[in-house]
């Protein structure tokens, strides 16, 4: 029998139980806000639930802006950190100390490995005695400093149904303005379940599951993400704040924890960047994106970069205000310049998600830039931009004809009208899901036929 050299333990729920401290922290927050909250509610509704979803339950329909939600989540965590300072060795699970001692006597090293940033605090409080100690602790599960993970890239076919839209989705489909109350937030989340049902209908129609996936936001799609991950689907989660001209993390300094909560295949950013635009703005965005690149490569999570290049007033003047002329004559060059600028700044996506191009030669040049200097496994997909069907079809066929373009992400053209019809009660949710599935399947057929032509 082979004797292991070391045994790794998780901390929470394995060596100790902190659920009571979480309840007390939520109870403190509820009291602050004048919200009734009972222990039974915590046990029934909050155990094993993420911080945001727990807070939404706690608010029970009360309106709160995103800034207020973030502040309350941070406040709860401060209460929790303060409470766990009272932990002691008595709170190691029954038999835990004896087990650790027996393992050490056998000459086997022990360590704690946890994603929580509070691990060192809890370990120090519950393992005060020398006989309780473990040999090491890893918090946040990060790679050792200096160990570099090379760009992995992604070259398999990738067909995405994106519905991570937030600001435009809320205003365009429902006519609401933020902040939403909990009832409105539930309505938005339920409508996204209809889109997800369409995606699953496409799977039932025998679309290959190893090449299709969903792109959805955590705010309204956390349940969808969890279900999709549990079923082994390709998942992409958005990490940018919605509706902003400047890229910022939607969850600020906690962006890493939110990505880790779902273990997606890709983390995606949407960035508006014009290389001939505001230099200071571009620099700020590049700095944040480099930080995200470094984190994702260390965490071994694939990176998807959705690039939009909005025209500047001067650029529109050059084409007499004709946005179609801008798309044809100026945007391809600006996209290439942006990709090169990002690469030079150390921003290294595995997949670029780009606006459609009308000319095959522009697609070829874009692939050459994306794959320059040894980036041979980096690929591109084309987005739909909410355009009419005929235009989407042209973009798909053009992209599919160029090696390096591996697929697409067409969202609003797939789901918008069916969801509008559901909300207007013109069709059922089941009928809407079927329409969405058929639209998604059509894009796949068009792309694959153009690829094989």
Concatenate the DSSP letters of all residues of 243-297 into one string. T-SS--BTTGGGHHHHHHTT--SEEEEEEE--TTS-HHHHHHHHHHHHHHHHHHH
- For domain 6-15+87-139, the CATH superfamily is HAD superfamily/HAD-like (3.40.50.1000)
Distance of CA 154 to the CA centre of its chain: 17
Residues contacting 298, CB < 8 A, separation 6+: 142, 143, 149
DSSP 81-140: HHHGGG--GGGBPTTHHHHHHHHHHTT-EEEEEES-TTHHHHHHHH--SGGG--SEEEES
For the sheet containing 136-139, what is the strand order? 6-9, 109-114, 136-139
161, containing H or E segment? strand 158-162
Rounded to two decimals, what is the model's pTM? 0.69
Residues 42-59: pLDDT tens digits?
Answer: 888 877 676 777 888 888
φ and ψ of 220, to 5 deg: -115, 0
Confidence of residue 139 (pLDDT cuts 50, 70, 90): very low
Q: Among residues 203, 204, 221, which one has the least CA distance to residue 212?
A: 203
Q: Calculate what percentage of the chain has a pLDDT beyond 70.
A: 85
- pLDDT at site 15: 67
Q: Rounded distance, CA 173 to CA 418, Å?
A: 11
CATH tag, 158-452: 3.20.20.70
Average pLDDT over residues 255-280: 96
- pLDDT at site 404: 97
Give yes or no for residue 175 having a pLDDT over 80: yes
Average pLDDT over residues 420-449: 98
Average pLDDT over residues 343-358: 96
CATH tag, 19-85: 1.10.150.240
Q: Calculate what percentage of the chain has a pLDDT beyond 90.
A: 67
| Higher per-residue pLDDT: 339 or 107 | 339
Residues 373-394: pLDDT tens digits?
Answer: 999 999 999 999 999 999 999 9
Residue with token string 């929580």: 116
Q: Rounded distance, CA 382 to CA 357, Å?
A: 8
Average pLDDT over residues 436-452: 97
Residues 208-241: pLDDT tens digits?
Answer: 899 999 999 999 999 999 999 999 999 999 999 9
Collapsed DSSP state (helix, strand, coil) of residue 354 = strand
Q: What is the chain's mean pLDDT, rounded?
A: 88
Confidence of residue 203 (pLDDT cuts 50, 70, 90): very high
Q: Among residues 401, 396, 398, which one has the least CA distance to residue 414?
A: 396
Q: Which of 107-111, 169-173, 238-242 has the lowest mean pLDDT?
A: 107-111
In the chain, domain spans: 6-15+87-139, 19-85, 158-452
């Amino acid at each position: 029998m082979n004797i292991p050299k070391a045994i790794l333990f998780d901390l929470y729920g394995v060596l100790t139980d902190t659920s009571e401290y979480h309840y007390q922290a939520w109870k403190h927050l509820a009291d602050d806000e004048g919200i009734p909250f009972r222990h039974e509610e915590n046990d029934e509704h909050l155990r094993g639930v993420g911080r945001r979803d727990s807070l939404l339950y706690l608010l029970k329909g009360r309106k709160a802006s995103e800034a207020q939600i973030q502040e309350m989540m941070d406040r709860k965590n401060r209460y929790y950190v303060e409470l766990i300072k009272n932990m002691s060795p008595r709170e190691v699970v029954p038999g835990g100390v004896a087990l650790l001692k027996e393992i050490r006597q056998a000459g086997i090293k022990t360590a704690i490995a946890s994603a929580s940033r509070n691990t060192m605090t809890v370990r120090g409080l519950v393992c005060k005695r020398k006989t309780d100690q473990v040999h090491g602790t890893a918090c946040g599960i990060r790679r050792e400093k200096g160990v570099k993970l090379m760009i992995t890239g992604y070259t398999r076919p990738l067909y995405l149904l994106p519905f991570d839209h937030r600001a435009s989705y809320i205003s365009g489909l429902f006519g609401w303005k933020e902040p939403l109350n909990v009832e409105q937030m539930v309505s938005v989340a339920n409508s996204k379940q209809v889109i997800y049902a369409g995606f699953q209908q496409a799977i039932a129609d025998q679309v290959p599951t190893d090449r299709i996936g969903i792109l959805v936001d955590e705010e309204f799609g956390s349940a969808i993400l969890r279900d999709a991950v549990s079923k082994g689907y390709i998942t992409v989660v958005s990490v940018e704040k919605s509706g902003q001209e400047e890229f910022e993390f939607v969850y600020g300094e906690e962006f890493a924890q939110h990505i880790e909560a779902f273990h997606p295949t890709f983390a995606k950013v949407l960035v508006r960047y014009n290389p001939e635009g505001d230099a200071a703005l571009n620099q700020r965005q590049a700095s944040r994106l480099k930080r995200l690149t470094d984190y994702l490569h260390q965490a071994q999570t694939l990176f998807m970069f959705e690039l939009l290049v909005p025209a500047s007033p001067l650029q529109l003047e050059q084409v007499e205000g004709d946005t179609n002329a801008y798309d044809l004559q100026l945007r391809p060059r600006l996209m290439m310049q942006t990709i090169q600028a990002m690469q030079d700044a150390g921003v290294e996506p595995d997949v670029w998600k780009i606006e459609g191009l009308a000319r095959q030669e522009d697609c070829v040049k874009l692939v050459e830039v994306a794959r320059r200097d040894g980036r041979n496994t980096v690929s591109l997909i084309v987005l739909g931009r909410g355009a009419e069907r005929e235009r989407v079809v042209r973009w798909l066929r053009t992209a599919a004809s160029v090696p390096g373009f591996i697929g697409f992400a067409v969202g609003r053209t797939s789901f918008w009208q069916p969801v509008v019809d559901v909300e207007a009660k013109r069709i059922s949710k089941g009928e809407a899901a079927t329409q969405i599935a058929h639209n998604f399947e059509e894009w796949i057929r068009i792309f694959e036929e153009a690829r094989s032509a």
